Amino acid sequence: MSNNYDQTLFDRFKCVAEENHLLPTMVTDFYKKKVDEEVAAVGIGGPLYKCVYPTEEKLTLFGPGEVEDFVQEYNHYPVAGNTDIVRQYPNRLLFMTTEACVCNCSYCFRTIKLAESDNIVIEDSLDLLIDYLKEHPELEEVIISGGDPALVSPKRLRTIFERVREVGVPYLRLHTRSIVYNPEVLTEELLDLLAEFDVRLVFHIMHPYEICDVVRAKINQIREKNIRMYNQNPILAGINDDPLVLKKLFTELDNLRVRQMSIFTPDIIAYSASFRIPYKRICEIFDWVNYNSSAWVNSIRLVSAIPPGKGRRENIKRWDKEKGIITFEINGVEFDYVDFPEELYKKSDKLLWKENL
């Protein structure tokens, strides 16, 4: 570990993670080199550092409304006794193919679920998934998730793809963050498989500094195989909560022919306060990007992943600013989103540190 890092902080977080069933710190060599460069320039706590390493605020700052499973996936398990199939929407469902990750994100909204599992590849759920799909022909998409499904062997993925297509589901989508953590995970064999089954590939790129020449080369390789690429990510304090950061990220992605789909508000989970942002500030950031960029950059959805679905501003029924409660209504179902207090929010001056050198 570099002398510029705080080993005492890491030791403290290790104890907290073990006691509270959080994901431990795990960083690939590829990503650590980028973080090392950042730490050497601006110290700990920069945007890439904060993606994968604990900060003092992660251990000591707490906000209102934090829970273990904010989106309440446990209420959306359609198959009794199975936690690998999640259906929150009428036309699509999510299939957890692995609980292993390339690298552990500090902000992971499934941190407790993944930390408590010792499974590497989920073996027993595919038959249940196929049976459920047969019973529900209205489903038109299966989202391959995890963990990071790019770690699943191409042989195993082929079996999943073939069986899903055999029951008539037309669309497959695979989500991965390996593109920035370790692009080598996206092998030629895996990419050929994705191309063969016309699988939509969704990245979770958080910050423009995650996109280096190696990442660009891998994205170009993917594009040459005619694989459709997308990106979606949360907006998080100290990582990308600045309109210039987002405009730079969205523009870079568009230049690489990667379509940005949505940007999400932070999930209100355990030990998430250091990533949370007041909703008013999120709207200000999003609106600035919309009003100060071309349509091919700003045609992006701002959504909150909440138990009734994806809440947008037009779904806000009430906003009690005194109590800090924003009530969304989706399809007649109300949900109270607990806002983050302005007085706890701190703006970082390290987000675009390369431009300030």
- Residue 258's Cα: distance from chain center in Å? 16
Triad 199, 205, 210: Cα angle to 5°: 130
Q: Label residue 1 by pLDDT band (50, 70, 90).
A: very low
CATH fold of 61-356 reads TIM Barrel (3.20.20)
Q: Average pLDDT of 235-248? A: 97
pLDDT band at 107 (very low <50, low <70, confident <90, very high): confident
Asked if residue 93 has pLDDT above 90, the reply is: yes
Signed CA dihedral, 40, 44, 46, 51: sign only: positive
Output the furthest CA–CA distance in the chain (Å, rounded). Answer: 59
pTM of the model: 0.94
pLDDT digit string, tens, across residues 140-188: 999 999 889 999 999 999 999 999 999 999 999 999 999 999 999 999 9
Q: Mean pLDDT over residues 75-79, rounded?
A: 90
Per-residue pLDDT tens for 185-228? 999 999 999 999 999 999 999 999 999 999 999 999 999 999 99
Asked if pLDDT for residue 113 goes beyond 70, the answer is: no
pLDDT in tens, 302-315: 999 999 999 999 99
Residue 256 has pLDDT above 70, yes or no: yes
Dihedral sign, Cα of residue 156, residue 113, residue 338, residue 266: negative
The pLDDT score that the predictor gives to residue 120 is: 46
The answer, yes or no, to whether residue 346 has pLDDT greater than 80, is: yes
Question: Nearest Cα to 47, choosing from 200, 235, 285, 201?
Answer: 235
Average pLDDT of 37-55? 96
